[in-house]
Amino acid sequence: MIRSILHKGAKLLNPRCLSSSSPLPQKVAISKFDQNHFINYEKLKESLDVVRNRLNRPLTLCEKILYSHLDDPSGQELIRGESYLKLRPDRVAMQDATAQMAMLQFISSGLRKVAVPSTIHCDHLIEAKVGSVEDLNRAKDLNEEVYDFLSSSSAKYGVGFWKPGSGIIHQIVLENYAYPGLLLIGTDSHTPNGGGLGGVLIGVGGADAVDVMAGLPWELKCPKVIGVNLTGKLNGWTSPKDVILKVADILTVSGGTGAIIEYHGRGAESLSCTGMATICNMGAEVGATTSLFQFNHRMSNYLKATGRSDIAHLAEKHSDLLTSDNGCEYDRCIEIDLDKLEPHVNGPFTPDLAHTISKLGSAAVENDWPLDIRVSLIGSCTNSSYEDMTRAASVAKQALSHGLKAKTTFTVTPGSEQIRATMARDGIDKPFNDFGAIVLANACGPCIGQWDREDVKKGEKNTIVTSYNRNFTGRNDANPATHAFVASPEIVTALAIAGDLRFNPLSDTLTGSNGEKFKLEVPVGEELPQKGFDPGQDTYQPPPSDDSDVFVKVDPKSTRLQLLEPFSAWNGEDIVDAPILIKVLGKCTTDHISAAGPWLKYRGHLDNISNNMFLTAVNAENKEMNKVKNQVTGEYGPVPETARYYKANHIPWIVVGDSNYGEGSSREHAALEPRHLGGVAVIVRSFARIHETNLKKQGILPLVFENSSDYDKVQPSDKISLLNLNGLAPGKAVQCQLKHADGSTETITLCHSMNETQIEWFQAGSALNRMKQLMEQQ
């Protein structure tokens, strides 16, 4: 990280596809919020033609979009799973929790303005407690300092700012910025939501966003492509959510790592645009780089309904650019027959533990999961569209017609101000209110742990069902004993009526208030509102044309915001006898490394938020959380406290982890915190994509056991030496010496995926440090 960089970055800036100065055969503004930014399919086609002539083979859709955004189409190496692509994304989107660190890093760069269209969306800091109005007002008071910082820095550096209450970043992007053929990076792992509109939208860490905002090419390992052929047609209770829940069952939480999932086939015609977005959104749960659908009439309908008819017509004219070529090859093929697909409920504790609704009850009994459902929650970035809300409301109406209400606590989260306003205008909120729902603010809320839950005590075993995307241990309410299950909004609503995990709405009956039994009918929803969308309140702040009166201030005494100091560069020496801070046992997501919930308030203050590091990771030595041995004093204590001891005594330390380490959220704090507290390397069986990149960006060595079983050779009391680092090179293994407590040693081999540029990041101390070096050389 860099506190100040001389403003010599003119050569870095390359606002490709930004202005109207380039000749455009058709001038189509991306949205009413981007009247100076236009789609240029002809320019993309020119770049793609260069690649086509080189490869001379049919291309998948994701290849077309990525290769048409190459910085150097004629010279870029193009080998799936191997080459590092240098790309020019069209825009950047950031949510408020990650935007704080991203903007602090951008300010550190010394650049005057962002080089590509960028937006910040205030959706993560609003805690669910009472209801939408009260919770929003409370959030504005509690987070005033952070919102002021984001608002002023947006205005100063040319970033669009969506105020608190606007809605969830991914829904706002889908409604306003996403379009077929778009390449967007977003500082949130569920950025792929926009693939429902036929674009390549990829979740990244804040440092990646800074690169793009600075006008640098963005680097991505050329992904493999998984093709999912959808046949048949959705029917009955089955929904788009069930498609991705089934894919999670097939691929597991790591099966999509290093790949883009591309959906195709006639079955896609039975999915709405927002339904396709739901499927793409949850591709993050299988580790996929992103997911997308081929351009079709459902996307055109959505673009027209959201005031972008010009884009729809332009996309229709360039449909050959926005669909895959006949005969294109996928690295893996999956087929799902929608005619036979049954509603799914996945969980608990992991989104890939799949159950069909007909088998959920028996699985719950067999595994002794709590059958009584305490809370049912619908919404989140995954399932808060107009169609989702209307299908769930149709289930609620049926219950009301028989004199029933929700037996559980029931919450509803509209995805955006536009969805909320349209629901209110069309009367969709009434059945929810009559059903006993608590309507929450247009924000992430309980989905990301922003939930002041009071009905259970921490450690109390209980069950909740949600239409969210993640259900890791403690994810929603910080209670490790909460069993969270993920399903479609309509299934969640049906389960709320019964209040029992064994209820199957496809076959079971309910008893009305008059004592008569009845069976729920298939839910009915509306893909798009017949009267069009109501935009609701204006919550967007555009960048001013003149920012001379705009000042960005960070109080040195603030507990919420902190200017950044650069990390120290590598000293050129091997890492010798480094203690292991923690050897993590089993699943270790970014939630385990850097918890969200109440810690979100410190996302702009690196030192304060570092006190949450590894709080819920399980120590392999004692099977406990947040209790590790200080290898110098011999005493046991909290993980952050132990790390701070090592740092104060200039002792570099290492983390050892298991498979798919760092899965889940894109939060770069899971890399920043270990770096800030003195970590130098993370050694694991395998990494999740975004987290591995984030570690590289911050100058931490991400290393993988050549032999997976070597994980078992490492003892928590070992001292680790990483040797011959002066010879660190792409594809060259790292020799690691383990010194056991009894004095014996053994050597194991570690692999890495760093290319030459990423090795330079390590040597400079971080990617931002390397950026400074390059700027000073100009």
Shared-domain flag, residues 220 and 354 = no
The answer as to whether 632 is a domain residue is yes
In the beta sheet, which residues pair with residue 292? 262
Residues 278 and 368 in one domain: no
CATH label of the domain that carries residue 437 = 3.30.499.10
Tens-place pLDDT, residues 193-248: 999 999 999 999 999 999 999 999 999 999 999 999 999 999 999 999 999 999 99
Domain shared by 230 and 121, yes or no: yes
Q: What CATH number does the domain containing 592 carry?
A: 3.20.19.10
Among residues 68, 88, 109, 123, the one annotated as catalytic is 123
Examine residue 384 and state whether it is found in any structural domain, yes or no.
Answer: yes
Query: How many whole angstroms separate alpha carbon 456 and alpha carbon 461?
Result: 9
Active site (annotated) includes residue 188: yes
- Are 624 and 761 within one domain? yes
Q: Is 88 a catalytic residue?
A: no
**Left (φ > 0), alpha (ψ -120 to 50) or beta: where does 421 sit?**
alpha
Whether residues 689 and 721 share a domain: the answer is yes
From the list 188, 211, 388, 710, the catalytic residue is 188
Say if residue 180 is in the same domain as residue 205. yes
Considering the domain architecture, whether residues 459 and 498 belong to the same structural domain is answered as yes
Q: Identify the segments of the chain with pLDDT beneath 70.
A: 1-26
- Examine the fold and report which residue of 320, 337, 354 is the final residue of a domain before the chain moves on: 337
What's the chain's length in residues?
778
pTM of the model: 0.92
How many other C-beta atoms lie within 10 A of the C-beta of residue 526? 16
Residue 543 in any domain: the answer is: no
Q: Are residues 331 and 354 in the same domain?
A: no
Write down the pLDDT at residue 447.
96
Q: Are residues 492 and 600 in the same domain?
A: no
Query: Which residue of the set 124, 308, 318, 752 is catalytic?
Result: 124
Residue 13: how many CB atoms within 10 A of its CB? 17
Query: Distances from the Cα of 652 to the Cαs of 117, 183, 630, 655, 681, in angstroms?
Result: 39, 39, 13, 11, 9
550 within a domain of the structure (yes/no): no
Domain boundary among 337, 359, 387: 337
- In this structure, is residue 738 part of a structural domain? yes
Total domains in the fold of the chain: 3
Asked if residue 399 and residue 312 are part of one domain, the reply reads: no
Of 88, 170, 667, 691, which one is the catalytic site residue? 667
pLDDT at 26: 61
Joined together, the tokens standing for residue 418 give 């536009």
Name the residue among 462, 474, 468 with its Cα closest to residue 591: 474
> Of 493, 510, 527, which residue is a domain's last?
510
Q: Which residue is it, tokens 């030459």?
A: 756
CA gap 718, 720 in Å, rounded: 6
123 is catalytic: yes
Beta bridge partners of 412: 378, 439
748-773 burial: b if 16+ Cβ within 10 Å, else e: bebebbbbeebbebbbbbbbbbbbbe
Q: Residue 89 belongs to what domain range? A: 61-337
Catalytic residue among 69, 190, 264, 470: 470
Question: Is 266 one of the annotated active-site residues of the chain?
Answer: no
- Within this chain, do residues 288 and 411 fall inside the same structural domain, yes or no? no
Choice among 291, 665, 686, 766 that is catalytic: 665
102 & 176 share domain: yes
Judge whether 569 lies within some domain: no
Query: Do the domain assignments include residue 299?
Result: yes
Assigned domain for 6 exists: no
